[in-house]
Amino acid sequence: MISRAEYVAFAEALGLTIAETSSFSPFYHEIVEVEYADDRRQPVSIASYAWPCLMLGDLLFSRAGARVRGGSEIIRKDIAESSTMYWTYRRKNRPVQDLSHGWGSNSQWRTAFRRDYRSGQTLCYNVDGKRDLGALESTAEDDDGLTREERVELLTNRCFIFTMKPHDDLWPYDDRLQLEWS
């Protein structure tokens, strides 16, 4: 175990910076735990952090682990805490899916990284993806049986936080999206 201070000192020695935001964003935050708010429509907010968000300039290096609070019509605890986390090699308490899994000992080194950038107020998710979710029709389901909104949820959170569909065999790796954030 290392302390938060040791983790931050190590990251800063590598040239990374800590990104601290006052409001929840799936760009900056990975949901670790959910607490329900009394108001079923309350937006997701940060209750506390498990680890900080690290940036390398405008490139997201790793998202912060966040314990969040939100209304049951916005986030579902059972889904947000246990659905498959994509673009993730390992998590202690949930299933993960990464393109480097299952291809032998060198697969991690031959797999392209997911690159997310912050450019001013624009958040760019998976910039190397081939399919622009901003240009897709909203209601039609694709080959995975997902609507555009469900694909956006999966791409931005790297997991489902509300959608109650099978989540263990999807292909979000070709998706990309740009969103404005304030």
What domains are defined for the chain? 1-74 (2.30.22.10), 76-182 (no CATH)
Mean pLDDT by 10 residues, the chain (182 residues): 95 97 96 97 97 97 97 97 94 89 62 91 97 84 89 97 94 96 80
> Is the overall model pTM greater than 0.85, yes or no?
yes
Q: What local confidence, expressed as pLDDT, does residue 89 receive?
A: 86
Q: Looking at the chain, how many residues does it have?
A: 182
How far apart CA 32 and CA 40 sit, in angstroms, is 20
Q: What local confidence, expressed as pLDDT, does residue 144 receive?
A: 87
Taking alpha carbons only, the member of 38, 48, 33 closest to residue 73 is: 38
Q: What local confidence, expressed as pLDDT, does residue 28 receive?
A: 98
Q: In sequence order, what E strands does the chain have?
A: 17-19, 29-36, 45-51, 53-56, 59-62, 64-70, 85-86, 96-97, 117-119, 122-125, 131-132, 175-180
